[in-house]
Amino acid sequence: MNKYKEITEFADRRALFFPTAEIHSALSGFWDFGPMGAALRRKITELWRKEIVKKVDSVEIEGCVILPKQNFEASGHLKNFVDPLVQCKKCHKIFRADKLIETETGKEVPEAAGTKEFDGIIKKNNIKCPACGKELANVKKFNMMIGLSVGPVSKEYNAFLRPETCQNIFTSFQKIYKSSRVSLPLGISQIGKAFRNEISPRQTLVRLRELTQLETEIFFNPKKINEVEEWDRYKNHMLRLKLLKEKDTKSFSCEEAVKKKLVSGKLVAYYLAITQQFFEKCGFSPENFRFRELEDKAKAFYSKETWDFEVKSEVGWLELVANNYRTDYDLSSHQKVSGVDLSVVEDDEKFIPHVWEISMGLDRIFLYVLENSLATRDNKPIFKFPYYLNPLHVVVLPLVRKDGLDKKSREISELLKERFDVKYDEKSSIGKRYVIYDQFGVPLAVTVDYDTMKEDTVTLRDRDTQKQVRIKINKLPEAIEKFFSGEKIEKLGNIIK
């Protein structure tokens, strides 16, 4: 069984994630996250705050998902955020033209190609409707934004669900710059939902209609693209780059990447290094990831330079982050449509800042963290999450739920909750519970037995070695801290198993 299948089955069985409103006939492309899934996502988000937001000295904002139509006139999404669709003349089924061509011919055509190019390829390769075999109509560009009518009167769309969270960042940049005691380079981050009316949502969390982004937009003076305060600390950091003109991924130091002009400047190399470090902390290995340089046609319409951070997953190379050099595209466009001056003054010079974007997809990162943490024991999946990402630190288990063992366990659970993420469980045999929480990826189990009642000790069990030690209850919080600082379980108490 491949890992992807194993994960989706486990996810369904243990409610890590499942189709939204599943009990009704749910719409495809929407997924909800159950207790363990949501907890893992919060841990990834915390790590993002620590490793990206804090490191690049970014502020964080929180904005609405519904934005007025005018925003998307300015941003270009009304015109450019389109998918190429082709409909069968006979059975009226609709397909993504680029995906259809890829399936039928094995050739990749960028989704941003022109309709005539698509029509030409379809004609040349004599591609017919895969459903009924009849002729296909001409390719049309379909806007992927979801429109809405706000207010009781309007029947036309006067607003859209944002297709990317960064739009709030661009429209509020000037306000934040002027009021929040900050200077360039200024990072502004946001976590939130984005929405895309995909024609063919697929592979659970890989292509969604409602997704969660962790975005950071860094505003900087383009003349200072080679000024990085932290350069000395990062210049030797090795980046995994898959260049457009090379077949294989190679390692370059940040310094080399700048000298060979593989990137637009030191700032770019620095932000790529920060991004890569985040994933190293997620436990990903260098041989399984790369920054892929994108050709012009494949880039988003607003980007001058794009490096997709990709991981080698069971479903192929999977993009987790779009790193885009958006230049002054967004601020200039918003300035033009709104009439509001979005320039800044620095060193007596007035200019519109440029933007480097680190746009992460939480859903795909979540999915790949599961894949990367998946191991097998006795033919069952278990998750070995890296320390930072453990959704639960400890589970507290009474040997049996009687004679006060359950009450004592709940007390210990309350005690540990103050410092750790803890769950109490009294159902099923103790052996079965160990197996279940190993699967959930919980690194430590505390067991309360009859000796606990006599001598105030419990057993502490390590998921990975399955070793157990006996330990005083009042030493427990400290022992758990030590374990997570790297101490071996056998150093924490008297080994009993």
Touching its own copies, residues 29-48 (CB under 8 A): 29-39, 41
Q: Say how many Å lie between the first and final Cα of the chain, rounded.
A: 33
Short-list 292, 304, 290, 310, CA closest to 356? 304
Short-list 354, 284, 282, CA closest to 324? 354
Between CA 180 and CA 219 the distance in angstroms is 14
Of residues 2 and 25, the one with the C-beta less far from its own copies:
25
Between CA 177 and CA 186 the distance in angstroms is 8
Between CA 185 and CA 137 the distance in angstroms is 49
Binders of its own copies among 145-174, rule CB under 8 A? 146-153, 158-159, 161, 167-168, 171-172, 174
Sequence letter at residue 133: G
Binders of its own copies among 64-93, rule CB under 8 A? 64-68, 70-71, 74, 85
Residue 7 Cβ, how far from its own copies at the closest point, in Å? 15
Binders of its own copies among 221-280, rule CB under 8 A? none
What 154-158 contacts at long range (C-beta under 8 Å, 24+ apart), as own/partner pairs, is 157/69, 158/68, 158/69
Of residues 427 and 454, the one with the C-beta less far from its own copies:
427
Collapsing DSSP to helix, strand or coil, 55 comes out as: coil
Of residues 187 and 493, the one with the C-beta less far from its own copies:
187
Within 8 A by CB and 6+ apart from 288, the residues are 311, 312, 372
What is the distance of C-alpha 173 from the center of its chain? 24
Residue 392 Cβ, how far from its own copies at the closest point, in Å? 11
Q: Where are the beta strands (DSSP E) in 302-455?
A: 305-313, 316-327, 344-346, 349-351, 354-361, 374-377, 380-383, 394-398, 422-424, 444-448
Between CA 257 and CA 261 the distance in angstroms is 6
Question: If binding is defined by CB under 8 A, does position 197 make contact with its own copies?
Answer: yes
Q: Which range, of 61-69, 234-242, 254-262, 279-287, touches its own copies by CB under 8 A?
A: 61-69
Residue 495 Cβ, how far from its own copies at the closest point, in Å? 28
Residue 100 Cβ, how far from its own copies at the closest point, in Å? 14
Between CA 168 and CA 382 the distance in angstroms is 40
Token pair, residue 396, equals: 């507290």
Among residues 5, 9, 13, 336, the one that binds its own copies under rule CB under 8 A: 13
* Residue 28: CB atoms within 10 Å: 14
Between CA 466 and CA 469 the distance in angstroms is 10
Contact of 317 with 294, CB cutoff 8 Å: no
Contact of 467 with 478, CB cutoff 8 Å: no
Of residues 10 and 309, the one with the C-beta less far from its own copies:
10
Query: How many residues of this chain interact with its own copies, rule: CB under 8 A?
Result: 81
Residue 476 Cβ, how far from its own copies at the closest point, in Å? 18
Between CA 264 and CA 4 the distance in angstroms is 37
Q: Which range, of 105-113, 194-202, 256-264, 474-482, touches its own copies by CB under 8 A?
A: 194-202
Of residues 118 and 424, the one with the C-beta less far from its own copies:
424
Binders of its own copies among 286-345, rule CB under 8 A? 334, 337-338, 340, 342
Among residues 181, 261, 350, 454, the one that binds its own copies under rule CB under 8 A: 181
Of residues 205 and 489, the one with the C-beta less far from its own copies:
205
Short-list 119, 79, 81, 77, CA closest to 98? 119
Binders of its own copies among 432-461, rule CB under 8 A? 436
Question: If binding is defined by CB under 8 A, does position 63 make contact with its own copies?
Answer: yes
Among residues 425, 435, 462, 482, the one that binds its own copies under rule CB under 8 A: 425
Question: If binding is defined by CB under 8 A, does position 375 make contact with its own copies?
Answer: no
Token pair, residue 390, equals: 């453990």
Question: If binding is defined by CB under 8 A, does position 142 make contact with its own copies?
Answer: yes
Residue 255 Cβ, how far from its own copies at the closest point, in Å? 22
Among residues 94, 112, 238, 243, the one that binds its own copies under rule CB under 8 A: 94
Question: If binding is defined by CB under 8 A, does position 61 make contact with its own copies?
Answer: yes
Q: Which range, of 54-62, 275-283, 320-328, 489-497, touches its own copies by CB under 8 A?
A: 54-62
Question: If binding is defined by CB under 8 A, does position 22 make contact with its own copies?
Answer: yes
Between CA 409 and CA 431 the distance in angstroms is 17
Among residues 14, 99, 128, 467, the one that binds its own copies under rule CB under 8 A: 14
Of residues 71 and 306, the one with the C-beta less far from its own copies:
71
Among residues 43, 77, 141, 209, the one that binds its own copies under rule CB under 8 A: 209
Between CA 16 and CA 360 the distance in angstroms is 21
Question: If binding is defined by CB under 8 A, does position 427 make contact with its own copies?
Answer: yes
Residue 306 Cβ, how far from its own copies at the closest point, in Å? 26
